Amino acid sequence: MKVAIYPGTFDPITNGHLDIIKRSCKFVDKLIISISDNSKKKILFSTNERVEIIKKVIIDENIKNVEVESFSGLLMDYASKRNANIIIRGLRAISDFEYEFQMTGMNYKLNSKIETVFLMSSDNYQLISSKLIKEISSLNGDVSKFVPKEVEKRLNKK
């Protein structure tokens, strides 16, 4: 069974993330969207809110072979506990690649049984980032083209 983990902070989940999720589901038996609760990033939504939002989005999008949960600690320890054999990562630009290349190398040294698979962002989503979404939303900009409806609703409440 091919079990993949798609880790991230997802604060908030964007249409770019959703694209990676849908495409990943085509080649794995189960995809676990794993929300990091120990991020050093400035977080807008709590871990529980992010889990709740993503679960709602997955239902709205009718995606079947996905689980959503949070984790803390080392990704490779968590992946082993979940019997995952693949880590999914999305790449938007060269700057993403440098960071991901380094992280993948270290993860491989921690557990060489788990492979990392990179998916390039689709053209429509290469410029989208959660950080920019939060900034646009905080300035009352329209983010409806960049995020699922549930996220737009939650951003408007914040």
Which pairs with CB-CB distance under 8 Å and at least 24 residues apart come from 91-98? 91/118, 91/119, 91/120, 91/121, 92/16, 92/121, 92/125, 92/126, 92/127, 92/128, 92/129, 93/126
Which listed residue (41, 113, 131, 153) is catalytic? 41
Active site residue 130: yes
Which listed residue (121, 130, 134, 137) is catalytic? 130
- Give the dihedral sign, CA 157/122/104/85: positive
Which listed residue (22, 55, 82, 92) is catalytic? 92
Would you say 42 and 71 are in contact if contact means Cβ atoms under 8 Å apart?
no
Instruction: Write out the DSSP string of 111-129.
Output: -TTSEEEEEEPPGGGTT--
Tell me which residue of 103, 96, 40, 35 sits closest to 71, measured CA to CA: 35
59 token code pair: 């239902």
Which listed residue (17, 50, 89, 134) is catalytic? 17
Active site residue 41: yes
Active site residue 17: yes
Active site residue 92: yes
What are the residue numbers of the active site? 17, 41, 92, 130
